[in-house]
Amino acid sequence: MKMRIMLYLVLVAIFGFAGNSFAVEKTEAPSVIATPEGSDEAIRPQGTEDPTNTYMGMWAGYSNTTGEYNSYFGAYAGHNNTTGYTNSFFGYAAGYNNTSGYDNSFFGHFTV
């Protein structure tokens, strides 16, 4: 009997006095995408505002000036490309030294 009373007291203490300790606090959603201060990661193309290019990765497509229809996925992918077009580079520094080549596809680490 004492065990049952103790169990009830423990359950009342846990659930009865918990109050809002398990409630989730609501906050406002951020209005902009924030990156850590000092981060070099690009959220949009750095070298151009051309909507035909897609860059994903730190410094990907960094030097692009007039190149169009490029897709770079990976840190430093297509980093030195300036005027090359219709290229697809996938991997860390894939197509890093390509500057004006076109219709290329590179897959892997430092592929050129």
pLDDT in tens, the chain (112 residues): 777 777 777 766 665 555 544 444 555 554 455 555 655 555 554 555 577 888 899 999 999 888 899 999 999 999 999 999 999 999 999 999 999 999 999 999 888 7
In the chain, domain spans: 40-101
| pLDDT of the residue at 20 | 47
Q: Which of 99, 97, 96 is nearest to 83 (CA)?
A: 99
Diameter of the chain by CA atoms? 85
Q: Which residues contact 63 (CB under 8 A, 6 or more apart)?
A: 47, 79, 80, 81, 82, 99
| pLDDT of the residue at 22 | 47
State in Å, rounded, how far the first CA of the chain is from the last one: 79
Rounded Cα–Cα distance for residues 89 and 106 (Å): 5
| pLDDT of the residue at 89 | 95
